Amino acid sequence: MNEKRARGVEQEVAKEATYGSLPLTKAERVWGAGDFSWVTISLAIATWAFMTGGATVLLVGFTDGIAAMLIGNSIGLAIMAFGSVVLSQRIGVEQYRALKSVFGIVGVGIVVFTIVLLVEMGWTSLLGVLFGRAFTEISNQAFGAEFDTFGPFVTVFSLLAIVIGWIILSRGPVTISKLNRFVAPGLIIVVVFMMVMLMMNNTWDDLLSAPPMAPFEDEQLNFMMAVEFNLGAGLSWWPVMGTLARLTRGPRAAVWASWGGLFVGTVIAQIVGMAAALMIGEADPTAWMVPLGGPILGVLTLLFVGFANVTSMASIAYSTVLALKQSSGRALAKVRWPIICAGFMVLPAILTFFPSFMYDQFMTFVVISGAFIAALCGVIIADYFIFRKQVVSVRSLYASGREDPLRFTGGVNIAALVAVAISSAFYLWIYNPITLETLPIFQYTTATLPAVALAMVVYLGLSWLLYVRGGKNEYGAVDAFAAAGKK
Amino acid sequence: MHKEIYPPMTQHTELEQELDRRLTEIESNEIGDPVHAALSGRSILVFTAVALGIAAAAWIVAAL
């Protein structure tokens, strides 16, 4: 990239990072419910959804899998929407600036540089591996080779995906949004095509009667683990949805479109993943698209899916790197955008050397990230809806220094971080996704619901003691927008 | 000499001015605008009921 172009991108990104963190005016809120629904449906239909469907039917059959998917995603997405979308939409501010009202300015940085960073690096790595497997399979078909689909060529192609993702990312937000415009409708066509191909070679009876692939003995436990996994999948949208929702024109548009679009897109793609896994033994389309679709259609589909993975990678990496830049204060202010992007890609690149690890640990990864996000959402819901009654001063979010009304304790809402830590640990005590040990309560409540509840209770108690009863940090503030929307 | 890429002091001032302009516009012209409406209690209840209703229906079908 030449110097002039680099400077142009830097300015574009700096503009986005700075102006993107500024509150949107009404004229800039360009999405109605329909627009936002299209965005969220498009985001949801990606190869990770096939993987989620396939992982679900490790534990349960097709009909129970659909039930677990509906239960988990419906509740998980609702918790996610309450914990991200509503706040950012009302005040028109990107998510991590808005969360200063919950965690404090330094507290947000802690959340971003730990939970958000690691979760999004994990998803980036997984998308890279899926790309690598797709292109390994294409090579096998094109050259008659028999490369191992977890072998070194997967790593080579995965690293290629990360490099391509970095190039797209380095060019800034305009390139990413242009690419998404044609990837999204293409994915819907691909998903429908995949399902047609699958069912042309199998019967509905076969599908409905197919046993789960690797269940435990306890059927109730299997079902609840499937539900919990889908709860985690629903919650996994938390890091990016608030910032998108600020572009919508009203609270109902934001909430219904985020929940509804993600729900519909996820259901469509997961059903294909479930059916593929049960009928062929593999949720990942790289394993069966060519045998089912034939060499030409199969390879074209894989090419498209591989490309879609890279654009999805660039989208989530962009949101995360932007959050890092904005949360870092002066620390990253003078680091060039492509360098920060490259830094973000280091861990995902390392993980591509262990493609089977990422694949095999997919469910564990989703569940562990869900543990932390559930806790975060519980704290945010308690703060925004119960203590603040949806009142957050836009101006206060941009204040700094000793005059900052949202200063908490040196920039940290201690109650919020303690509640997140306790509730995450509580989740992992109820359900340890590494050892697969569960407490008896898990079979009736999942781990997510008690964790969210505990996060709310702990936060309400601690925050009241530390901050709310003292009347500081704008608890009990007058709602400047009290007349908004009222006739 | 390598030109500074990051905003110089004058651009920081511009940024502060832009922030202030937006905040003033929001606090004066958008006070009553539906874009800033709170999510109503009724909307919260309906949304929660739909989400839980879908979950409950799926649970019942799975149990049958």
Based on C-alpha coordinates, what's the Rg of chain B? 24
Q: For residue A14, is pLDDT > 70? A: no
Q: Provide the phi-psi class of A142: left if phi over 0, else alpha when psi is between -120 and 50, else beta.
A: alpha
For A446-479, write each residue's pLDDT tens digit: 999 999 999 999 999 999 999 999 888 999 999 9
When pLDDT is cut at 50, 70 and 90, the band that residue A249 belongs to is: very high
For A409, phi then psi, to 5°, come to -115, 95
Q: Tell me what the mean pLDDT of segment B9-19 comes to.
A: 71
Of B26, B40, B58, the CB nearest to A71: B58
Q: A485: exposed, middle or buried (C-beta count within 10 Å: 0-12, 13-18, 19+)? A: middle
B47–A259: do the CB atoms touch at under 8 Å? yes
To the nearest whole number, what is the mean pLDDT of chain A? 88
Q: How many residues belong to chain A? A: 487
Query: What is the predicted pLDDT for the residue at A2?
Result: 61
**Gap between the Cα atoms of A72 and A262, Å rounded:** 13
For A394-446, write each residue's pLDDT tens digit: 999 999 888 899 999 999 999 999 999 999 999 999 999 999 899 999 999 99
- In A, residues 370-389, which contact B (CB 8 Å cutoff)? 385, 389
Which residue type occupies A297?
L
Token pair, residue A255, equals 């909430």
Please report, for residues A50, A77, A84, A149, A311, the alpha-carbon distance to residue A46 in angstroms, rounded to integers and kept in the order given: 7, 17, 22, 20, 10
**Gap between the Cα atoms of A72 and A346, Å rounded:** 32
Query: What is the predicted pLDDT for the residue at B1?
Result: 36
More confident residue, A226 or A202: A226
Q: For residue A333, is pLDDT > 80? A: no
Of A70, A81, A486, the CB nearest to B54: A70
List of residues 6+ apart from A353 with CB closer than 8 A: A155
Q: For residue A29, is pLDDT > 80? A: yes
Q: For residue A62, is pLDDT > 80? A: yes
C-alpha distance from A265 to closest chain B C-alpha (Å): 16
Of B33, B43, B52, the CB nearest to A252: B43
Query: What is the predicted pLDDT for the residue at B6?
Result: 42
When pLDDT is cut at 50, 70 and 90, the band that residue B35 belongs to is: very high
- A406, A104 contact by CB (below 8 A): yes
Q: For residue A6, is pLDDT > 70? A: no
Q: For residue A208, is pLDDT > 60? A: yes
**Gap between the Cα atoms of A348 and A342, Å rounded:** 10
C-alpha distance from A483 to closest chain B C-alpha (Å): 5
- In A, residues 427-486, which contact B (CB 8 Å cutoff)? 479-481, 483-486
A484–B38: do the CB atoms touch at under 8 Å? yes
List of residues 6+ apart from A179 with CB closer than 8 A: A168, A311, A314
Pick the most confident of A149-163, A270-284, A382-396: A382-396
Q: For residue A316, is pLDDT > 50? A: yes
- A302, A109 contact by CB (below 8 A): no
Based on C-alpha coordinates, what's the Rg of chain A? 22
Set of chain B residues whose Cβ sits within 8 Å of the Cβ of A481: 30-32, 36-38
Query: What is the predicted pLDDT for the residue at A301?
Result: 78
For A86-137, write each residue's pLDDT tens digit: 999 999 998 999 999 999 999 999 999 999 999 999 999 988 888 888 888 8
Q: Tell me what the mean pLDDT of segment A325-346 comes to.
A: 82
Q: For residue A181, is pLDDT > 70? A: no
Residue with tokens 């994915």: A187
For A263-282, write each residue's pLDDT tens digit: 998 998 899 889 988 988 87
Q: For residue B13, is pLDDT > 50? A: yes
Q: For residue A180, is pLDDT > 50? A: yes
Query: What is the predicted pLDDT for the residue at A10?
Result: 59
Q: Tell me what the mean pLDDT of segment B17-45 comes to.
A: 93
Residue A447: how many other CB atoms lie within 10 Å: 28
A90: closest CA among B35, B22, B43? B35
Please state the ipTM of this predicted complex.
Answer: 0.88
